[in-house]
């Protein structure tokens, strides 16, 4: 067997545009509409998504700006230059921890969903293991290959999202969108917090921008990718409210899956739309997990001089056992909330730290 | 080299063992496709009622195409009843008695006996499993019936041999009859139960071999129990107010002769005025476009004066029907199935938040509310022919 070798492990800024929605769209979007509907009145949750979206777009732009100031340098290199080596090392390790947590959470949730909706009798552990092994296989290969995989899957995922949206128009009830803007301030604050927490994963930019050949345009591309994500979140929220109404949507655990179950291709020609939806959605979640796993390997490799494959073999069992650790749905939820808080705090702290340091020290050429 | 191949084979061949199948494999023959469910009350011990669940399984062999001969004596369905307290455990009980594994993803209708829904809260408890279980789809239709619900799952029909399918199709095709309402599905019910609103569920009745689909049951919010039934006329009134059905017919007497008007289109609009919670006023305005489809009259229908007369009679009739319904739900039932609370929620949100708790209970603002109805009718066509029978002329 011959391996296909890419010329080099470099990517273009277009791939940065793709990698953001690929990483962010996964599990959060399935349940976010329910959480938001709980905090807000009627369809007001869109305000929360938009406000937090604009905030995060700005953050993403800033992160890329900092990272792009040091073209072709890895995180540990430019962070050391800005905030000293020990701090940079600690930050890298904290980020890898976040990566491990995300992988753990993803494996667990996808197994739970698959068991709930698809495989009644297959144990969660078996589903989780199968999924993890697939991801391990993908991550063991070429990094540039992963980016190309993202590029291939994203249009398919967008297409299925588009189909769900179009077919759900028949189930829309305009009444569900009224009254407009009646949520109180605390409702909006809660909503903004919830949607901000659901956008974890964009920290990969700190690391991946080093791979971009010519990073001048990356801040713009990254912001655009983030904008795409926010748009997809908005559409999902609006169709959830349109189909179910506020109260029912807030009561469902995964409103998006329920929509997929409910839509039918007109003419009774295809009743079980959810089966296709699941196949495609697992691709989306696969992308999320691949990027999270890969960035962890990538960042750890910059701290510990170990071979990539060895790192993967050390991390995989840890991820698997951690993911099977929570005993119930409630514990999984608590874990998810912890990851979000941890991730957002870490990203924001790092961002502020680096931006301030950059302002003070300025970019040292060839530093 | 050979050694290497052996090594690879010894690793890969055992792996094949793990790829032989699906953990959740279940042969299609072993699945029992449940298409209809009926729930009856066995014992109404107030705290802990016992119910009987009847599931209708499809037997594919019995349906077979007639040209293939088929097995004539084989019934295309099998009903299976079991009693118990929780539907989920009843369902598990069933597995002991049949060799089929009940499969609910193709469930079409749920029929509840009136005895069940008259009990407070029992309806909600029965519906829980249908909403919660991931196997259940949200577009299962819900019905109530007088007497035994499981009797309805035994009505064989020539044109559709599966009773549950027969009922399902009946509900889908009777949308042009305004004495019925749009089928109520589990998904809608979920929202209504959560909002603690009053709601309606259509009622069917067994008439000898046939099924009559008319009348609707009114359920009061919070306790979710059946508090009354709107008859055919009242249902028509309800339809005009809440705009559920696309068409329907009205029978009127014009100059002592029977005339039937078919409603081809109507728009209903309700507005609530008055910010004073003690003195709410609702204006229900209906715009109707209709055709004369049947007339026993010997006058020419092409005469515009006649059309105006029919329009006036229709207007009166429609207003009467709506008033009838409004009186019943405001007076005797005190249950807001007219959608007034939705309008308040959408257009008078602050006011609604204030009176929410005293809407149907307590101060009962719903019953105090003034509801005025008005109709505007336009007759468009009179059919293909003018006068079918000119009084006496043919004989002379």
What's the pLDDT tens digit per position in A134-170? 999 999 988 888 999 999 999 999 998 898 898 888 8
* Chain B residues within an 8 Å CB radius of A119: 22-24
CATH ID of A13-352, from 2.102.10.10, 1.20.1740.10, 1.10.3720.10, 1.10.600.10: 1.20.1740.10
Q: How far is CA A118 from the centre of its chain?
A: 23
Structural contact between residues B187 and B138, judged by C-beta atoms closer than 8 angstroms: yes
H or E element, residue A26: none
For residues B205 and B351, state if they share a domain: no
- Residue B362 included in any domain: yes
Percentage of residues of chain B with pLDDT beyond 90: 4
Per-residue pLDDT at A61: 93
Structural contact between residues B126 and B116, judged by C-beta atoms closer than 8 angstroms: yes
Calculate helix-pair angle for A329-361, A45-68, nearest 10 degrees. Answer: 40
- Residue B305 included in any domain: yes
User: Are A262 and B190 inside 8 Å of each other by CB?
Assistant: no
The answer to whether A130 contacts chain B (CB < 8 Å) is no
What is the mean pLDDT of the segment spanning A109-123? 87
The alpha carbon of residue B135 is apart from the nearest alpha carbon of chain A, in Å, by: 7
What is the number of alpha carbons within 13 Å of residue A43 lying toward its C-beta? 22
Comparing CB atoms, the residue among B139, B195, B350 nearest residue A262 is B139
Domain boundary among B230, B256, B277: B230
For residues B216 and B271, state if they share a domain: no
Per-residue pLDDT at A7: 59
Structural domain range at position B196 = 27-230
The alpha carbon of residue A213 is apart from the nearest alpha carbon of chain B, in Å, by: 39
Q: Is B253 helix (H, G, I), strand (E, B) or coil?
A: strand
Instruction: Quickly tell me which residue has 């990538």 as its tokens.
Output: A298
Residues 6+ apart with CB under 8 A from B182: B175, B244, B245
Per-residue pLDDT at A366: 44
For residues B247 and B154, state if they share a domain: no
User: Are A122 and B23 inside 8 Å of each other by CB?
Assistant: yes
Per-residue pLDDT at A1: 47
Percentage of residues of chain B with pLDDT beyond 70: 87
Residues 6+ apart with CB under 8 A from B193: B124, B127, B224
A314 pLDDT above the threshold of 70: yes
The per-residue pLDDT for range B235-259, each reduced to its tens digit, is: 888 888 887 766 778 888 877 788 8
Please count the residues of chain B: 396
Selected residue with higher pLDDT from B349 and B388: B349
Domain boundary among B189, B212, B230: B230
For residues B315 and B369, state if they share a domain: yes
The angle subtended at Cα B272 by Cα B270 and Cα B273, nearest 5°, is 140
Comparing CB atoms, the residue among B24, B191, B349 nearest residue A248 is B191
- A contact test, residue of B187, B221, B242 with most A CBs within 10 A: B187
For residues B204 and B308, state if they share a domain: no
What would the DSSP string read from start to end of A303-355?
Answer: HS---HHHHHHHHHHHHHHHHT---SHHHHHHHHHHHHHHHHHHHHHHHHHHH
A2 pLDDT above the threshold of 50: yes
Number of structural domains (chain B) is 2
For residues B241 and B220, state if they share a domain: no
| CATH code, domain with B312 | 3.30.300.210
The listed range with the strongest mean pLDDT (A147-151, B56-60, B298-302) is A147-151
B313 pLDDT above the threshold of 80: yes
For residues B209 and B331, state if they share a domain: no
For residues B63 and B201, state if they share a domain: yes
Per-residue pLDDT at A3: 57
- Prediction ipTM score: 0.78
For residues B126 and B246, state if they share a domain: no
What is the mean pLDDT of the segment spanning B154-178? 76
- Residue B121 included in any domain: yes
Domain boundary among B230, B247, B270: B230
- Residue B239 included in any domain: yes
- Residue B15 included in any domain: no
Instruction: Of A297-301, A302-306, B1-5, B96-100, give the lowest mean pLDDT range.
Output: B96-100
The alpha carbon of residue B258 is apart from the nearest alpha carbon of chain A, in Å, by: 39
* Chain mean pLDDT for chain B: 81
């Amino acid at each position: 067997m011959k391996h296909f070798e890419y010329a080099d492990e470099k990517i273009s800024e277009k791939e940065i545009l793709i990698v953001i929605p690929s990483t962010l769209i996964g599990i959060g979007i399935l349940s976010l509409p329910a959480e938001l509907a709980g905090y807000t009145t009627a369809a007001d949750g869109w305000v929360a998504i938009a406000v937090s979206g604009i905030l995060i777009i700005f953050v993403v732009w800033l992160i890329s700006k900092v990272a792009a100031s040091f073209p072709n340098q890895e995180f540990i290199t430019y962070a050391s230059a800005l905030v000293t080596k020990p701090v940079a090392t600690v930050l890298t390790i904290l980020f890898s921890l976040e990566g491990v947590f995300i992988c753990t959470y993803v494996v667990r949730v996808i197994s739970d969903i698959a068991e709930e909706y698809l495989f009644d009798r297959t144990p969660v552990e078996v589903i989780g293991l199968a999924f993890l092994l697939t991801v391990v296989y993908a991550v063991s290969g070429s990094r540039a290959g992963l980016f190309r995989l993202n590029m291939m899957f994203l249009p398919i995922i967008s297409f299925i999202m588009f189909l769900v949206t179009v077919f759900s128009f028949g189930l829309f009830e305009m009444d569900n969108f009224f009254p407009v803007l009646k949520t109180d301030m605390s409702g909006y604050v809660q909503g903004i917090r919830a949607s901000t927490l659901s956008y974890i994963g964009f920290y990969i930019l700190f690391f991946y921008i080093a791979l971009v050949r010519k990073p001048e345009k990356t801040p713009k591309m990254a912001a655009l990718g983030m904008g795409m994500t926010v748009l997809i979140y908005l559409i999902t929220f609006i169709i959830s409210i349109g189909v179910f109404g506020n109260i029912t949507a807030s009561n469902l655990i995964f409103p998006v899956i329920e929509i997929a179950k409910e839509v039918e291709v007109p003419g009774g020609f295809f009743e079980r739309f959810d089966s296709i939806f699941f196949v495609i959605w697992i691709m989306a979640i696969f992308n999320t997990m691949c990027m999270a796993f890969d960035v962890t390997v990538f960042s750890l490799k910059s701290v510990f001089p170990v071979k990539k494959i060895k790192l993967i073999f050390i991390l995989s069992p840890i991820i698997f056992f951690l993911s099977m650790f929570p005993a119930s749905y409630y514990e999984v939820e608590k874990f998810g909330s912890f990851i979000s808080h941890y991730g957002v705090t870490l990203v924001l702290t790092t961002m502020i730290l680096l931006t301030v340091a950059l302002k003070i020290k300025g970019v040292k050429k060839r530093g | 080299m050979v050694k290497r191949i052996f090594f690879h084979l010894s690793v890969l061949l055992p792996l094949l063992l793990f790829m032989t199948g699906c953990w959740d494999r279940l042969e299609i023959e072993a699945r029992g496709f449940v298409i209809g469910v009926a729930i009856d009350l066995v014992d109404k011990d107030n705290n802990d009622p016992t119910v009987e669940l009847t599931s209708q399984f499809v037997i594919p062999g019995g349906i077979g195409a007639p040209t293939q001969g088929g097995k004539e004596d084989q019934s295309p369905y099998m009903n299976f009843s079991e009693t118990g307290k929780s539907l989920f455990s009843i369902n598990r009980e069933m597995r002991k008695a049949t060799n089929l594994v009940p499969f609910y993803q193709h469930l079409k209708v749920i029929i509840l006996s009136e005895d069940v829904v008259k009990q407070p809260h029992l309806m909600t408890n029965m519906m829980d499993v249908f909403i919660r279980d991931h196997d259940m789809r949200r577009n299962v239709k819900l019905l109530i019936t007088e007497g035994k619900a499981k009797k309805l799952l035994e009505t064989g029909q020539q044109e559709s041999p599966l009773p549950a399918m027969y009922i399902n199709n009946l509900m889908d095709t009777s949308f042009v009859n305004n004495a019925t309402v749009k089928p109520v599905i589990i998904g809608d019910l979920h929202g209504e139960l959560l909002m603690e609103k009053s709601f309606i569920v259509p009622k069917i009745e067994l008439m000898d071999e046939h099924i009559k689909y008319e009348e609707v049951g009114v359920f009061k919010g919070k306790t979710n129990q059946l508090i009354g039934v709107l008859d055919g006329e009242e249902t028509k009134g309800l339809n005009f107010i809440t705009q559920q059905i696309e068409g329907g017919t009205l029978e009127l007497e014009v100059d002592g002769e029977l005339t039937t008007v078919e409603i081809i289109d109507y728009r209903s609009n309700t507005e609530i005025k008055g910010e004073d919670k003690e003195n709410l006023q609702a204006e229900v305005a209906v715009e109707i476009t209709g055709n004369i489809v049947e007339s026993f009259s010997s006058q020419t229908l092409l005469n515009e004066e006649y059309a105006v007369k029919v329009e006036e009679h229709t207007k009166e009739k429609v207003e009467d029907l709506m008033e009838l319904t409004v009186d019943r739900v405001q007076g005797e039932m005190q249950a807001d199935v007219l959608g007034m609370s939705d309008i308040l929620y959408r257009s008078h949100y602050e006011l609604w938040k204030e009176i929410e708790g005293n809407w149907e209970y307590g101060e009962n603002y719903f019953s105090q509310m003034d509801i005025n109805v008005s109709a505007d009718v336009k007759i468009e066509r009179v059919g293909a022919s003018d006068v079918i029978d000119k009084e006496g002329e043919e004989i002379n």
